[in-house]
Structure 1
Amino acid sequence: MNDYGPLRDYLKKQTLTELVLSFEEIEAIIDAPLPRAAQRASWWDSLRSPQEKMPQREACLEAGYVATRQADGNSVKFKRLPRNTRRPREDGDL
């Protein structure tokens, strides 16, 4: 399983409210190939089935972004969450 910590860290450094990254750019950030499942929009959808913990979704949310696979099927849009809707970390920190 891939480590999406580098993607989280990359997104945390961003100042844009929205950005689009190609799968190739994401693979370079995480230094690993994305699984075939990444081509499905539902794999990226941060707000779908929130009880289903998936590492790529968690990394985006921890960075304050929601992810949506683009219609081209080869890139992902990351949109910053408003500060008041960001999830607190599980250890209780706000």
Structure 2
Amino acid sequence: MNDYDALRDYLKRQKPAEFVLSFEQIEEIIDAALPRAAQRASWWETLRSRQEKMPQREACLEAGYTATRLPDGKGVRFTKISNRRPGARRDP
């Protein structure tokens, strides 16, 4: 179990396609303080190389969300990953 399993579990229970959590809300979910590095956008970037294993990124991806730090630096936007590939045909 890592520090971000609670975040993964929280995200898995969410239904919205997109929502924002403040850093304080995330700290409540994981029951710990986020590291200073969490203030950097790159720390949350889930679309980076898969070879860069970071527990907070893995937690988001395992839950089906990408994470992006807000431009104002006050929180994180979580966006559900679409199961449908762009350009894929849907059966009627």
TM-score (norm 2): 0.87
* Aligned residue type for 1:50: R
Q: Distance in 2 between matches of 1:27 and 1:84?
A: 32
Give 2:31's aligned residue. 31
Larger Rg: 2
Q: Distance in 2 between matches of 1:26 and 1:41?
A: 15
Q: Which runs of 5 or more residues in structure 2 are unaligned? A: 86-92
Give 1:91's aligned residue. none
Question: 1:6-85 alignment to 2 at 5 Å?
Answer: 6-84=6-84
1:5 aligned onto 2:30:
no
Q: Shift in Å at residue 84 of structure 1?
A: 4.2
Q: Shift in Å at residue 72 of structure 1?
A: 1.2
Q: Distance in 2 between matches of 1:79 and 1:37?
A: 21
Q: Shift in Å at residue 15 of structure 1?
A: 0.4
Q: Shift in Å at residue 49 of structure 1?
A: 2.4
Percent identity between matched residues is 69
Q: Distance in 2 between matches of 1:18 and 1:8?
A: 15
4+ residue segments displaced more than 6 Å = none
* Aligned residue type for 1:37: A
* Aligned residue type for 1:36: R
When the two chains are superposed, the root-mean-square deviation of aligned CA atoms in Å is 1.2
